Amino acid sequence: MAVRHQLIRRAPEAVWAVLADPSRYSDWVVGTSDSKPLDGDWPEVGSRLLYTVRIGPWSGDGETVVRRCVPGAELELEAFAKGIGSARIALDVRPWGEETLIICDEHPLRGLGGRWHNTLSDAVIQLRHRDMLGRLARTVENGTGEDRPNADRADEASVRAV
């Protein structure tokens, strides 16, 4: 399983405000360039959003569904990617003094990704989480997801994921 954590220098309410805003999804989720609600009231259980992934000239849409939500504390998502399957992404938001510790646990669930899940795929997910949690931290700490273009975010020195 790919589990990673990140300390964010803001209160849990600030972190939750970003997680609970479906229009901010593409600010912190690696690979997405756009997101919009499909139905339901995000992040209520069963609510869905549509996201777009762009890699060079290629783009594709995916869907994320909220499977479990404890407002302000826990968010479990199932992200579907056409042709690959789906993944379970669990985000645990914990107060850490004046700051927030966020723990992300992700694993492939359905389709090819679920059948081919192994230690190598976990290593790739770990790299993705390092970038994703760093982006989430910057989005929350800066109050914006527009600090730098998506492609350049991974090399920023302020990424403090451990």
63: CATH:
3.30.530.20
- How far, CA to CA in Å, does 47 sit from each of 50, 64, 79, 130? 11, 8, 12, 26
Q: Cα-flanking dihedrals φ and ψ of residue 7, to 5°?
A: -90, 125
Q: What is the pTM of this model?
A: 0.79
162 in a domain, yes or no? no
Give me the half-sphere count of Cα atoms (radius 13 Å) on the Cβ side of residue 106: 26
**pLDDT tens digits along 7-19:** 999 999 999 999 9
115 in a domain, yes or no? yes
Q: Which helix (H) or strand (E) holds 95?
A: strand 85-96
161 in a domain, yes or no? no
**pLDDT tens digits along 95-139:** 999 999 999 998 888 886 656 766 766 666 666 768 888 899 999
| Number of domains composing the chain | 1
Q: Judge contact between 143 and 115, C-beta under 8 A.
A: no
Q: Judge contact between 6 and 161, C-beta under 8 A.
A: yes
Which sign does the torsion angle of CA 73, 113, 38, 127 carry?
positive
Q: Judge contact between 84 and 60, C-beta under 8 A.
A: no
Q: Judge contact between 62 and 79, C-beta under 8 A.
A: yes
Range of 20's domain? 2-155
**Which of 1-10, 40-49, 66-75 has the lowest average pLDDT?**
1-10
Is 151 a residue whose pLDDT tops 50? Answer: no
